[in-house]
Amino acid sequence: SQQGEEDPQALSIQEGENATMNCSYKTSINNLQWYRQNSGRGLVHLILIRSNEREKHSGRLRVTLDTSKKSSSLLITASRAADTASYFCGTSYDKVIFGPGTSLSVIP
């Protein structure tokens, strides 16, 4: 399966700290996407990184992709309480397959 697998499953940090989540996958991909899900809501797209890219930034988000290790990381800098959510990576070849997610709690 090309399914991504996020690590850790749960993460709790203090407001202002950085949060790092990792995603590993098994097969070739066109791109890898990160999404956020607030409790009781649908997923919201955060950032897409293509297989020929190594790093991408968007505001306080930094995503890296290492296709040789089949892994990606999502870094959220200077976290806020509003960043509390579940984060999912989606690996894409002809369709997007999601991992089980990382639950992030940011404590004010």
Partner 1 sequence: NAGVTQTPKFRVLKTGQSMTLLCAQDMNHEYMYWYRQDPGMGLRLIHYSVGEGTTAKGEVPDGYNVSRLKKQNFLLGLESAAPSQTSVYFCASTDLGDNEQFFGPGTRLTVL
Question: Would you tell me which residues interact with partner 1 (CB under 8 A)?
Answer: 30-31, 33, 35, 40-45, 48, 88, 90, 92-101
As measured in angstroms, the least distance from the Cβ of 92 to partner 1 is 4
Please identify, using beta-carbon distances, which residue of 1 and 14 lies nearer to partner 1: 1
Least Å distance, CB 48 to partner 1, is: 6
Least Å distance, CB 106 to partner 1, is: 21
Nearest to 93 by CA among 7, 24, 36, 33: 33
Question: What is the Cα–Cα distance from 91 to 77, expressed in whole angstroms?
Answer: 23
Q: What does the alpha-carbon distance between residue 3 and residue 97 come to, in Å, rounded to a whole number? A: 5
